[in-house]
Amino acid sequence: MPAYLARPDGDAARVGVVVVHELFGVNPDIISVVDDIAHAGYLTIAPEFYHRDAAPGRWLPRDDSGRDEGFSLLHKMTRAQAIDDVRACADLLKTRYGVDEIAMVGFSAGGHLAFLAATQVPVSRVVVLYGGWLTSTDIPLSRPEPTLTLASGITGKLLYLVGESDKLIDEEERGEIASALQAANITHEMVTYPGAQHAFFWPGTPTFDESARNDARRRILALLAEN
């Protein structure tokens, strides 16, 4: 499984971070997140979760063709495969690089994958940025039962970041997610950014929201830094 890995300049923190790409693969945006987190002191890796069906190092453009191909690749990835890949990254970070804990940061479809993995793999903290399909069975990652029903398996802290104007994750769905996390007694925080849309994190895109991105980045680094 190809992956992009970045190391901090000095000694790495005891928490290693797995960054989960969105629909478009490990593109320059994802690489910039990996580099940013590594610069903050964390050994950070972004695996190519499409590795079974896509050429190594290939990422997709943010246009209709890239979106269509991304959905095609996403629908080929099973729940078991995704969890196996996260376990492989966690084992690598712990056995080869000596980190003590695993954290995850996932975007959109990658946010869903990070949420799912946190229900099955020991993850001390997980950040889900606008992760969709948690309440449905619309993608293989959410089958046979909706991923949200597995929330009780989460053993670490969870931070869910979403835009108020996200058309894919509306107010009703946000309420379902919050209720399920509360019912499962998961240590969590849900942050809703006024006026922000889906994929607000990426500069140069139509939905970019600088204020929301800056706050999200601050919250991600703060969660990683918690003792």
pTM of the model: 0.98
Q: What percent of the chain has pLDDT over 90?
A: 99
Q: How far apart are CA 210 and CA 227, in angstroms?
A: 28
Q: How many separate domains does the chain show?
A: 1
**Which CATH number is 206's domain given?**
3.40.50.1820
Predicted pLDDT at 207: 98
Q: Which residues of the chain have pLDDT under 70?
A: none
Predicted pLDDT at 56: 97
The tokens describing 102, both together, are 């695993």
Q: What is the domain range of residue 59?
A: 3-225
Predicted pLDDT at 175: 98
Predicted pLDDT at 133: 98
3-state secondary structure 36-64: HHHHCCCCEEEECCCCCCCCCCCCCCCCH
Pairing of strands 44-47, 3-6: antiparallel
Residue whose token pair is 């500069």:
203
Amino acid of residue 212: A
Query: Do 156 and 125 form a contact (C-beta atoms < 8 A)?
Result: yes
Predicted pLDDT at 227: 81
Radius of gyration, alpha carbons of the chain: 16
Predicted pLDDT at 132: 97
Dihedral Cα 94, 97, 100, 102, nearest 10 deg: -70
